[in-house]
Amino acid sequence: MSGTTAFWYASRATGIVALLLLTAVLVLGILVNRQGRLPGLPRFAVTSLHRNLSLLAVAFIAMHVFTAVLDTYVSIPLISGVVPFASGYERLWLGLGAISLDMMIAMIVTSLLRGRMNRILWRAIHLLAYLSWPVAFAHSIGSSKDLQQGWMLDMAVGCALILVAAIVWRLAHAARQVPRAGRVAAVFAQHSAATSGATTSRATSSANASKQTRRTRETVKR
Amino acid sequence: MAETLRVNPIDCTGHGVCAELLPELISVDEWGYPIVDRRPVPPALDREARRAVAACPVLALKLMRN
Amino acid sequence: MTTAVNESAPGGAARQAAGLPRLLPASPEDLRGHLARYGATPYRGRAGALIADIEASGLTGRGGAAFPVYRKLAVVAQARGRKVVVANGSESEPASRKDELLLRLAPNLVLDGLQLAAEAVGATEAHLYLHYGSTPEILRALAERASRGLDGFGVTITQAPPRFLAGQETALVNRIGGGPALPTFQPPRVSERGLGGAPTLVQNVETLAHLALIARYGPRWFRAVGTDAEPGSMLTTVYWPDGKCRVVETEIGAPLRALLSSGAETRAWLVGGYHGTWLPLPEAADVTLDHDSLKRFGAAVGAGVLVALPADRCGLTEAARVTGYLAAESAGQCGPCLNGLPRIAAGLAELAGPGHRKQTRADVERWVGSQNLVAGRGACNHPDGTVRFVRSALTVFAPEISLHARGQCSATNRRPFLPLPDGMPTSEDDWT
């Protein structure tokens, strides 16, 4: 491997870390949407981690691009980091990387401006995450011989599988969601199921009441 | 200038992040939805209130001028 | 189902001397009759000119909220750009029949008011929002006016779905805009940003009819009846224990006893419709139809629905029926309303049945006992009104709850009394 430099190593390493971080960001994003918890951590940790790791991921991608540009073995213009297919070297695969990064930049900028923009537009751009990751994944595999074999390939595929599992979990919930017009009926049903079987004319014990509360927390709107 | 916290109850899906970050002014009802203190936000809690507003995953919590 | 009839309350001569009725002719009046009685629409010639008269008259909204009309007019008039006016004739309260009758007997008075309001605020677009399955008299009136060139511009008619919330201002704007009749969060108020983003004046059809008369006869005429604080007359939908329903125009401040029976045949009064308040008898027998008098019992005039519940019916059962309806009519958009109302309704149904769990009564009282649990935390005031209705029922019918707990009931007639529509909304289409 003559001609490889520290920059080239750094670019590959930061690229791998970025892929791991992006996987975590998407899984956390799904967790936020599903109001899931990370064991032992408060609720705001999930949203905070999601947001902070997304910024960290972009920081690593920036380093990934800069080190690749600084490496002199191949000529990669700086703008090819955000302008797709502007690089002579590995035009297609690097182009995909730029596309993925562009989408991430759009997501982050719109999230920073979230209070001032149309909700539906914000959500539409944020859903680009589900496109950005596979494009980044394709970029990773296609542009790096490392990831095409051995433990690195296993790791990349592992990331993909974890993400697919999270997406399936998300879609399963969406399929179970009661449409708005049916929500009231669902609460009626939930309430009658929760209260049937209780004894009459005696106050239910506090244990019963708290169990009911926890069950009623499975409220329909979420 | 006095500001009050308000929740858009249509957007709110009961994540509960706001109540964690601002327990002095926000508690959670038995169904997971926030009960917000309607009085103006005390100046000492202003920064925490803004943090809670920013943290809401659906931007349902708002700080409004009186 | 009873037929709403325009009929004078007892004491006919006294009412005529007082200048009533003002709004309702004895039979449907066509354009010719309207013009013969009232003359042409008294346009002022420029925007804003009518508002001072409306302010002097003290006219408040007759759709239930009783908001000062001149304030709404002023807000919309002062806005810049395109503006819209809407006559709200959806009358989504099932027990109310006054708007329906007004639109049938005096549609031109309402349409005059709509055009006058549009001129006053500088609007260029007018809408009429009508109850599901409305009668064609209004269409005929519009056609007659169009052929005579009476109106500044055409009126677009939109039909409201048969939902309790369909008449709520933001739901109305959503429906006219082509979407479902679902409320949205305020601010912004519709008078600031409504239909298509334009400032929108929404007024009940009765309010517009009063406005049309004030434009002709002036504020002092309007104040000749009613009280100083709440001047003028209003239409009430009155239910007597015999089951008959009448629409009666009365001056504000009239004793309820003149409108409703209060004798041995009446168990309790309901004032303000299904978001209103139950009043105990004989304690409330002296109450008059105005804010201060009703406030003593936590009640308000609302849209003028007054019910004398017959003594042979069970108030608890009636309240439970209505609460079940109100819960089913929740938009289901806000967590506290969606979760609270069905549970309150189920609890009240259990209290109205033979024997109930102690926990149920405690739960219902807790849910309706706070102004910041179920009430006060929705995007509209549906949970607030429902909580008020249930709270007053728990108070007024407390003895009945104890009786039912022992498996007894003091009523002898099981037939339902309060009118409710059939069927629960189940799909999105039910809201459009």
* Cβ-defined contact of C357 to A209 (cutoff 8 Å): no
CB contact B65 to C (< 8 Å): no
pLDDT at A168: 98
Residues C390 and C325 in one domain: yes
Residues A92 and A131 in one domain: yes
Q: Helices marked H in C162-276 — which ranges?
A: 169-176, 205-217, 219-222, 256-259
Residues C255 and C291 in one domain: yes
Residues C238 and C359 in one domain: no
Look at residue A222 and tell me if it is in a domain. no
List the domain range (segments joined by +) for residue C337: 315-424
Residues A96 and A154 in one domain: yes
Residues C250 and C275 in one domain: yes
Residues C305 and C319 in one domain: no
* Cβ-defined contact of C379 to B10 (cutoff 8 Å): yes
User: Is the model more confident about C134 or about C356?
Assistant: C356
Residues C286 and C342 in one domain: no
pLDDT at C12: 57
Look at residue A185 and tell me if it is in a domain. yes
Level-2 CATH architecture, domain B3-65: 2-Layer Sandwich (3.30)
Look at residue C214 and tell me if it is in a domain. yes
Q: Is the pLDDT of residue A184 over 90?
A: yes
Residues C92 and C218 in one domain: yes
pLDDT at B4: 96
Residues A77 and A130 in one domain: yes
Residues C215 and C161 in one domain: yes
Look at residue C14 and tell me if it is in a domain. no
Which residues of chain A neighbour C362 with C-beta distances below 8 Å?
203
Mean pLDDT of C357-373: 95
What is chain C's mean pLDDT, rounded? 93
C87 and C205 Cβ atoms separated by less than 8 Å: yes
The residue type found at A187 is: V
Q: Is the pLDDT of residue A201 over 70?
A: no
pLDDT at B2: 83
- Domain boundary residue, one of C286, C310, C334: C310
- pLDDT tier at B61 (50, 70, 90 boundaries)? very high
Search chain A and give the residue with CA nearest B59.
A115
Search chain B and give the residue with CA nearest C332.
B10
pLDDT at A206: 36
List the domain range (segments joined by +) for residue A157: 6-176
C324 and A187 Cβ atoms separated by less than 8 Å: no
- With contact defined as 3+ CB pairs under 8 Å, the chains touching C are A, B
Q: How many domains does chain A have?
A: 2
- pLDDT tier at A4 (50, 70, 90 boundaries)? low
Residues A140 and A210 in one domain: no
Structure tokens at C234: 């209003």
Lowest-pLDDT range of A171-185, B26-40, C3-17, C80-94: C3-17
Of chain C, the percentage scoring pLDDT greater than 90 comes to: 88
Residues A193 and A114 in one domain: no
Q: Using the 8-state DSSP alphabet, how is residue C157 labeled?
A: E
Q: What is the CATH number of the domain that holds C210?
A: 3.40.50.11540
CB contact A114 to B (< 8 Å): yes
Q: Which positions ≥6 away from C345 have C-beta within 8 Å?
A: A188, C320, C323, C324, C326, C327
Residues A41-58 have pLDDT tens digits of 999 999 999 999 999 999
Look at residue C5 and tell me if it is in a domain. no
* Rounded-to-integer distance, Cα C299 and Cα C290, Å: 10
Residues C84 and C210 in one domain: yes
Cβ atoms < 10 Å from Cβ of A157: 13
Residues A62 and A151 in one domain: yes
Q: Is the pLDDT of residue A139 over 50?
A: yes
Of chain A, the percentage scoring pLDDT greater than 90 comes to: 68
Mean pLDDT of B26-42: 96
C331 and C182 Cβ atoms separated by less than 8 Å: yes
* Rounded-to-integer distance, Cα C129 and Cα C87, Å: 6
ipTM field? 0.96
Q: Is the pLDDT of residue C85 over 70?
A: yes
For chain B, give every domain's residue range: 3-65
Look at residue C228 and tell me if it is in a domain. no
Look at residue C15 and tell me if it is in a domain. no
The residue type found at C371 is: Q
Report the sign of the C-alpha dihedral through residues C419, C421, C422, C423, in that order: negative
Look at residue A102 and tell me if it is in a domain. yes
- Domain boundary residue, one of C289, C310, C331: C310
In 3-state terms, what secondary structure has residue A190?
Answer: helix
Q: What is the CATH number of the domain that holds C385?
A: 1.20.1440.230
User: Is the model more confident about A148 or about C349?
Assistant: C349
A153 and A147 Cβ atoms separated by less than 8 Å: yes
Mean pLDDT of A64-88: 89
Look at residue C11 and tell me if it is in a domain. no
Residues C258-305 have pLDDT tens digits of 999 888 899 999 999 999 999 999 999 999 999 999 999 999 999 999
Q: In Å, how far is B15's CA from the nearest CA of chain A?
A: 6
Residues C55 and C202 in one domain: yes
Q: In Å, how far is B19's CA from the nearest CA of chain A?
A: 10
Q: How many domains does chain C have?
A: 3
**Which candidate, C258, C252, C257, C247, places its Cα nearest to that of C224?**
C252
- pLDDT tier at C10 (50, 70, 90 boundaries)? very low
C198 and C81 Cβ atoms separated by less than 8 Å: yes
pLDDT at A101: 96
Peptide bond just before C342 cis, omega within 30 deg: no
Lowest-pLDDT range of A140-144, C328-332, C412-416: A140-144
Look at residue C150 and tell me if it is in a domain. yes
CA A216 to each of CA A156, B24, C412: distance values in angstroms, whole numbers, following the listed order: 40, 25, 38
Which residues of chain A neighbour B32 with C-beta distances below 8 Å?
217, 219, 222
- Domain boundary residue, one of C222, C244, C274: C222
Residues C211 and C240 in one domain: no
